[in-house]
Amino acid sequence: MAATQRTRSSGGARTTRSPVAPKASGAPRGGRARRRAITPEDLLCLVGVSEAQMSPDGTSVLFVRKVVGARNRYETSVWVADAMGGRAPRALTKGPKDAMPRWSPDGARVAFVRAEPGKAPRIMVVAAKGGASRELIGMPSGTVRDFAWSPCGRRMAFSFRATPHERTDAGRREREEHGLSTPPWVIDDVWYRLDGDGYFGAERFGLWVLDIARATVECVYDRDTLGTFSYDWSPDGEALVVAANEDPRASWNHACDLLVVPVGGRGPRRVSRVAGLPKGPKSCPRWSPDGLRIAYAGKVGDAAMYGGRNVELFVHDFAARSTRCLTQGTDLCLMAATLSDSGEPGFDAQVRWFPDGTAVFFRAGWHGSGRIASVPAGGGRVAFHTPEGAECALGTFSADGWRLACVRSTPLEPGEAFVLEVERSEFAARRVTGFNDALVGELALVEPEERWVRAADGHRVQCWRMRPRGARGKLPAVLEVHGGPHAQYGLTFFHEFQLLCSRGYEVWFSNPRGSKGYGERHTSAIRGAWGTKDWMDVKAVLAAMRRDPGVDRVRVGIMGGSYGGYMANWAVAHDRSLRAAITDRCVSNMVSMSLNSDWVDFPGSGWKGSAFTDPSALWRASPIAHFARVRTPMLIIHSEGDLRCNVEQGEEVHAALCTLGVPNRFVRYPRETSHGMSRAGPPDLRIHRLREILAWWERWM
């Protein structure tokens, strides 16, 4: 797809072809001093930057800064940076658990959520110039998932889910005082837990509105079956549009409605459905600045949002009662997350209207990059505003649209806040934070080299090689396989990859079929057929590694997490020449996995048959069904608190290898950890995991 640029004229937005790529300024520069190898402990020094928000006047960028603080805990605080990069960023709050900062419409104040351990969440506000923060509203024990100012600045909407009293710290203390047991969960629905969120039983998020002047709060919508709705304010601040699923069996019926929820007035509230919408899942609704249209991410049909089909960008016209897909024919997906261990993956769609309503901006994952793009609101050619070779998270615009905030990372640069000058002929990207510069300046980091290989059926697979600096001769090599499978590896900072390189391994990673970022056909090739086309592609990458003149072909290993753990299991069952393997938070038994994950696999949703009707297809795709041939030593890593891939999946691998007499080591992390432990777990346990990985490769490679 040709790169394009967006320019402003007296007649509004237009899109023209251009080979011009954005320019980045302020990138860290390495001196001539000798650089050192990266270590597991460098995780403690990395600073996370997220949620970049441009001030309405375009002079400042708001963001969340995350560090490892005292007592082995992450601390988050709200910071602000000069959009021109002339002044050093400054802290607006001290933390330790402040997040979700939002500018008030006039830019004079900043609201944020404070969620201190053991306390109920509070929505706070602080002057943009700094000072003491004050509480706007304190809620009962529970979780605030997100919030937004109304455009008029008089109200604030937020999603909140209460914690039942018996599950709160106060309830626990009362039980301990009376010698009572922990109460059971009484469950009536398949949706009662979520990895990283924990157990919530029958509780669901509702949509609440705070009237700031009156200091009153009201629940305006709570009929979404799963509580996973998303929303946006109307331009006049008198209504909200909500993308919600009210079907009693929403876990398998994914069709959503767009609902208009009025918030003004004292009469009965009438929630109305937007007419003329295609059936299908919907998320991230965004009301146009003129109030006449709604942009949203979604699909047409019965498929779930996560899956092989592309998530498209739609615009609905209220007056015409018609909906248009703006990305049709591009083969782009708005849900193509780039995976890393330096932050949580952004699976949710990112959609923003340009302030004059002429275009809609979004993030698209393509060929390992996460790029900010736009398309005219009436349809037309997609324009990319950030180059290949980086991962960008879409932030917000200044009121005039001249500046856009984003967070950008590359393989050599952890995420930092950037300002994108959207309207200039050359879309200059200005870096406005540099928290990780000192650390990066010390390290001997390696930039990936892109390669393409052909599978046995001729399909081309993109992959990357990372060779240690100054290495000579033949080295052992490790192939990393990403999770999902509907995600991508790509050009973002990955501590684990750099660490393995620093210890003398060539590191390869790729995006086999099933990955996002290469079009719908590539992603859907393994629907109901894991271990087929994906394994063909992985085999092709392994073969390329063994042909590489810098690789010792008898010292090649494979590792991966989640679906990547599935592929590591599948590989050792089908390729006995692998020297060693590591399977992390894996899938091993598709039959049991289909019913013990937080996302239950409903019959017909992706696989032929089911565990309780015809399990044959699931069993054929299960690595454990083919383990009789395994002779490869394996390290098994799993968290007891993993709700996505139950620890039972790792237990099966361990038991099978012990029975077969195959060398293995099982590292079980405690219930306090989750599926995403490698990127969000306790710092000490993340370091422990990396040491176990290094020790395993040193032992066998």
pLDDT of residue 345: 82
pLDDT of residue 268: 61
Q: Where are the domains of the chain?
A: 274-397, 446-700
Nearest Cα neighbor of 158 from 139, 173, 177, 141 is: 139
Indicate whether 26 pLDDT > 60.
no
pLDDT of residue 21: 31
pLDDT of residue 270: 76
Indicate whether 353 pLDDT > 50.
yes
Q: Any idea which of 12-26, 226-240, 448-462, 482-496 has the lowest mean pLDDT?
A: 12-26
**Strand, coil or helix: what is 416?**
strand
Residue range 530-536: average pLDDT?
Answer: 98
The predicted-structure confidence for 60-84, as pLDDT tens digits, reads as follows 999 999 999 989 999 999 999 999 9
HSE, side-chain direction, 13 A CA sphere, residue 361:
27
Indicate whether 20 pLDDT > 60.
no
Residue 493: pLDDT band with limits 50, 70, 90:
very high
- CA atoms of 366 and 375, how far apart (whole Å): 16
Indicate whether 10 pLDDT > 50.
no
- CA atoms of 547 and 550, how far apart (whole Å): 9
Residue 629: pLDDT band with limits 50, 70, 90:
very high
Greater model confidence, 191 or 603: 191
The predicted-structure confidence for 362-402, as pLDDT tens digits, reads as follows 999 999 999 999 999 999 999 999 999 999 999 999 999 99
- CA atoms of 382 and 347, how far apart (whole Å): 21
Q: Are 236 and 199 in contact (CB under 8 A)?
A: no
Q: Are 113 and 98 in contact (CB under 8 A)?
A: yes
Residue range 451-473: average pLDDT?
Answer: 97
The predicted-structure confidence for 181-209, as pLDDT tens digits, reads as follows 999 999 999 999 999 999 999 999 999 99
When the pLDDT of each residue in the chain is averaged and rounded to a whole number, the result is: 93
- With 0-12 CB in 10 A as exposed, 13-18 as middle and 19+ as buried, what is 328? middle
Angle formed at CA 567 by CA 564 and CA 572, multiple of 5 degrees: 130
Residue range 305-314: average pLDDT?
Answer: 96
The predicted-structure confidence for 128-186, as pLDDT tens digits, reads as follows 999 999 999 888 999 999 999 999 999 999 999 999 999 999 999 999 999 999 999 99
Q: Which residues contact 465 (CB under 8 A, 6 or more apart)?
A: 448, 449, 451, 506, 507, 508, 548
> What are the C-alpha distances in Å from 175 to residues 162, 183, 259, 642?
20, 9, 42, 27
DSSP codes of every residue in 76-102 = EEEEEEETTS-S--EES---SBEEEEE
| % residues pLDDT > 90 (the chain) | 88
Indicate whether 234 pLDDT > 90.
yes
Could you tell me the strand order of the sheet in which 293-298 lies? Answer: 282-287, 293-298, 312-317, 322-325
| CATH code given to domain 446-700 | 3.40.50.1820
Backbone angles phi, psi at 636, to 5 degrees: -115, 120
Nearest Cα neighbor of 404 from 392, 395, 414 is: 395
pTM above 0.85, yes or no: yes
Residue 264: pLDDT band with limits 50, 70, 90:
confident
Q: Which residues contact 23 (CB under 8 A, 6 or more apart)?
A: 426, 427, 428, 429
Count of Cβ atoms closer than 10 Å to residue 223 Cβ = 15
